[in-house]
Amino acid sequence: MKLIGIEEHFLTSEMKDAWSAIGLDAADPSIAFHGGPLEKRLTDLAEERLALMDETGLDMQVLSLTTPSLHDLGPDSVDLARRANDAVAEAIARHPDRFQALATLPVAMPDEAALELERCVRTLGFKGTMLCGRVDHRNLDHADLLPIFQSAVALKAPILLHPRAPEKAVRDVYYSGFNPQVDAAFSCFGLGWHYDAGIQFLRLMLAGHFDRFPDLQVILGHWGELVLFYAERLANMDRVSGLAHSVATYFRRNLYVTASGMFLPHYLEQAARIVGRDRLLFSTDYPYQYRPGGDARRFLENCGLDEADRQAFSHGNWERLIENLPSAS
């Protein structure tokens, strides 16, 4: 059974240098997570990555630049995005049966980002894009960023909405007071950035993006970035939101969720109940969640789904989601 991981990350040395040049390694605690052995795995788009894919049982990775991507890099991000996307396209050309990609966008420059998304889909054959929440201090529903969503809808390109560290003021109030390592973990992968990503999705919904763009498809990792666990409470927003549809409708019409290496059958069951089995996508969150021992394949085989639903989860739902993208020329 073919197994496609749709949230699998990479990093380039040029990107890491660009973060350092603006002091982001001091301002964003997540930058430290990409060093050491993980950096070697992130920057490798060849033999070690392929070997670990084989070991865990993954047939294909959909590559995306790791967080915080280009969200804080301003005008310089236009050329950086193009070079990153071209480098990934070269890796795909070398291994077309092992890699796909989500576009890296210069999101601080929304008009240019919209054009780069079109180039990546129409020319490079990419399958969508990944956004990492806020752009500078702007939430994703900010009017400045509409061109990106307009481009995604026109191309039928899905958007993976990935976490990023909360703003410093939020980290200081809610996630500090321990030691630096605990503060960083608490504000990011422990809890904080999952709330941040879930909030960005809800802001898109409450701002009317899914009414304005009913075909817009957003993917949340980590089984829904905490949002699905409060689906019942969020449904109460229907009384005051003024939206055209219920929260439950947007969950089943505009949202896909993926595992991100959290291989827990009861989380899968919860997600399936809320968004539907046809909206579950597989991913390992490489290299952050990589564990030896055939981990990905073992979860697929023991996740509790029947044969047809396992086929859909492992690759069918993703292939259906991207089947109407323009053909690359």
Instruction: Give the DSSP H or E segment for 10.
Output: strand 4-10
Compute the distance between CA of residue 150 and CA of residue 238 in angstroms, rounded to an integer.
Answer: 25
3-state secondary structure 41-54: HHHCCCHHHHHHHH
CA distance 174 to 193: 12
Element (H, E) at 219: strand 218-220
Predicted pLDDT at 93? 98
> Is 133 in contact with 203 (CB distance < 8 Å)?
no
Task: Identify the CATH assignment for 4-321 out of 3.40.50.10190, 3.50.50.60, 3.20.20.140, 3.40.1620.10.
Answer: 3.20.20.140
Q: What are the average pLDDT values for consecutive 10-residue runs of the chain, which has 329 residues? A: 98 96 94 94 97 98 98 96 98 98 98 98 98 95 98 98 97 98 98 98 98 98 97 98 98 98 98 98 98 96 98 98 95
How many C-alpha atoms does 159 have within 13 Å on its Cβ side?
30
Q: Rounded to whole angstroms, how far apart are CA atoms 50 and 285?
A: 15
Q: How many CB atoms lie within 10 A of CB 54?
A: 12
3-state secondary structure of 218: strand
Contact of 37 with 30, CB cutoff 8 Å? no
Q: What is the pLDDT of residue 329?
A: 83
Can you give the residue ranges of every domain in the chain?
4-321
Residue from 276, 282, 268, 272 nearest 319 by CA: 282
The owner of tokens 């291989």 is 263
Percent helix, strand, coil in the chain (nearest 5)? Answer: 55, 10, 35
